[in-house]
Amino acid sequence: MASRTPSRPVGTVTRGTTNPNRLRRMDRWIAATHGAALRHATGSGSGSDSDTGPVAVDLGYGAAPWTAVELLVRLRTAAPRVRVVGVEIDPARVAAAKPYEREGLSFRHGGFEVPLPGRPALIRAANVLRQYDEEQVAAAWERLCERLAPGGLLVEGTCDEIGRRHVWVALGPEGPRTVTFATRLGSLERPSDLAERLPKALIHRNVPGEQVHAFLRDFDRAWAAAAPFASYGARQRWIRTVRELATDWPVVDGAARWRQGEVTVRWDALAPRRG
């Protein structure tokens, strides 16, 4: 159900920390897993009659526009007609980004209401909800998912300052689908090192009795058991680890993604327990 556009942007200003290539792991995953959907999506509109390609939103891109610029480049390797709109709640950041606009890339003032005339095929919200309370996450997810075009995708998660470790949730219009853990394998001592980058919906649930805690415990155990494969390199050890993990957990991707230092699990297996 469409909601009335609020007169003021919804949300609060983030710290705005950003670095070039910080979101490369998330971008590459989106291009690989959602690229076909973007290629076949129709234009969702951003205000120009000549715009015909699907729209991807970089929500809360921060103090500099690098992540939006890079998102356009990476998505166009999979979907050449895609357009990116960077949305920021801080008007000064929008003004600073305007000189970087070009064909397929624009910036506008806004927040969780996503102030576009149409529905985007993709919304990426990286390091945005980290500063919010856990109780606010569900409402933010719902609001963003309501803005998606049919078949659209919301990707929301957190990474470190230089993008070595990243965890994100993928959501469709119906709600959360999967959780992806991604890392630069050479920097990893154990898989549970990724716990500090869990998105807001999960980071406070990494305690005994919660499923995400059990998952990371089993991940560490499988990593330890795969230690003999370390002689073949961290990538081979990771692949062996994930194969073992998949015997007990609903891993939904395959070796092609594991080789990138990723693993994706169904959301319902890690979702917080109620109460």
According to the model, what pLDDT value does residue 131 have?
87
End-to-end CA distance of the chain: 29
| Strand order across the 105-109 sheet | 105-109, 83-88, 55-59, 122-126, 153-159, 165-172, 175-183, 262-266
Query: For the chain, what percentages of helix, strand and coil (3-state, to nearest 5) are there?
Result: 40, 20, 40
Are the C-beta atoms of 263 and 256 separated by less than 8 Å?
Answer: no
- Closest CA relative to residue 11, chosen from 58, 80, 60: 60
Token pair 């806004």 is at which residue?
Answer: 110
Token pair 């494969």 is at which residue?
Answer: 229
Q: What is the CA radius of gyration of the chain?
A: 18
Token pair 């076949």 is at which residue?
Answer: 40
- Sign of torsion over alpha carbons 246, 249, 250, 251: negative
User: Structural domains in the chain?
Assistant: 24-173 (3.40.50.150), 185-270 (no CATH)
According to the model, what pLDDT value does residue 275 have?
55
Are the C-beta atoms of 164 and 189 separated by less than 8 Å?
Answer: no
- Could you list the beta-strand ranges (E) of the chain: 55-59, 83-88, 105-109, 122-126, 153-159, 165-172, 175-183, 262-266
Are the C-beta atoms of 125 and 9 separated by less than 8 Å?
Answer: no
What confidence tens digit (pLDDT) does each residue in 167-178 have? 999 999 999 999
Structure tokens at 90: 């801080």
Are the C-beta atoms of 238 and 231 separated by less than 8 Å?
Answer: no
Low-confidence spans in the chain with pLDDT less than 50: 1-5, 46-50
According to the model, what pLDDT value does residue 50 have?
45
Please report the DSSP string for 185-201 in residue order. GGG-S-GGGGGGG--HH
What is the torsion angle, in degrees rounded to the nearest 10, for the CA atoms of residue 127, residue 264, residue 269 and residue 239? Answer: -130
CA–CA distance, 262 with 242 (Å, rounded to integer): 9
Question: Which of the 8 DSSP states describes residue 22?
Answer: T
Residue 160 sits at φ, ψ, to 5 deg, of -80, 180
